[in-house]
């Protein structure tokens, strides 16, 4: 496991997160996304944050980041609020979720592309893991039209570009590994042709 550039957590903190905060984050995410599905119309939506959290864990994400990965879509897509996350887990997790939450506004795309390069290393890890999983699952979005898949592909590539890590200056290689994984999924012939089609109206 690749460890992030942070102070090693105390045994007490490890126990609190492993036995309390992370299980609670999983429960909250499961309840919040209950009844919703992924783009195939069949897979429970909770499988998405599960996959994101697994990538974050594999890349050495700290405990707050793993918990936030489980909850990263709840504020945008469900009725769960940041205040509730802070009350039911801890303020640190809520703060991490807030950094990767973008408002559902008409200019959301522009706001996101402006904010992504400014994210701290832990927030970048969540967002990169998020778009890796989304790109991996895009061929399975069978309920979407080809036009919607194309737009989504282009959005993901834009976000990956905005999150690009300078690996010569970044001493945490987990982010760079996620970039390479994204590129691998983006090369899937089932979606890669969208990179060569004419641009669509945004």
- Active-site residue, from 27, 40, 73, 76: 76
Q: Is the pLDDT at 187 greater than 90, yes or no?
A: yes
Task: Tell me the mean pLDDT in the region 109-136.
Answer: 94
Residue 87 among the catalytic residues: no
Whether 167 has a pLDDT exceeding 70, the answer reads no
- The structure tokens listed for 29 are 């995410």
Among 12-16, 20-24, 40-44, 191-195, top mean pLDDT goes to 40-44
Ordered by where they begin, the domains of the chain are 11-195 (1.10.3210.10)
Q: Which residues contact 51 (CB under 8 A, 6 or more apart)?
A: 133, 136
Catalytic residue among 40, 47, 77, 147: 77
CA separation for the pair 65, 40 (Å, rounded): 28
Planar angle of CA 179, 182, 183, nearest 5 degrees: 90
**Measured distance CA(147)–CA(66) in Å, rounded:** 33
The strand pairing partners of 37, in sequence order, are: 44
For residue range 172-181, what is the model confidence (pLDDT) as tens digits? 778 888 999 9
The answer to whether 77 is a known catalytic residue is yes
């Amino acid at each position: 496991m690749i460890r992030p550039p942070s102070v090693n957590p105390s045994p007490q903190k490890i126990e609190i997160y492993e036995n309390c905060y992370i299980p609670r984050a999983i429960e909250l995410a499961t309840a919040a996304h209950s009844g919703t599905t992924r783009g195939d119309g069949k897979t429970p939506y909770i499988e998405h944050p599960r996959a994101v959290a697994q990538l974050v864990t594999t890349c050495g994400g700290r405990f707050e980041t793993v918990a936030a990965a489980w909850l990263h879509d709840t504020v945008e897509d469900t009725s769960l609020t940041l205040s509730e996350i802070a009350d039911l887990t801890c303020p640190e997790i809520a703060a991490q979720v807030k950094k990767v939450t973008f408002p559902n506004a008409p200019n959301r795309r522009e706001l996101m592309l402006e904010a992504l390069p400014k994210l701290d290393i832990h927030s970048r890890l969540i967002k990169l893991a998020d778009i890796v999983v989304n790109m991996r699952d895009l061929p399975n979005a069978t309920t979407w039209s080809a036009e919607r898949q194309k737009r989504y592909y282009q959005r993901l590539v834009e976000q990956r570009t905005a999150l690009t890590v300078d690996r010569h200056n970044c001493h945490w290689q987990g982010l760079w590994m996620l970039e390479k994984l994204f590129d691998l999924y983006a090369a899937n012939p089932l979606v890669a042709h969208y990179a060569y089609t004419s641009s669509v109206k945004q």
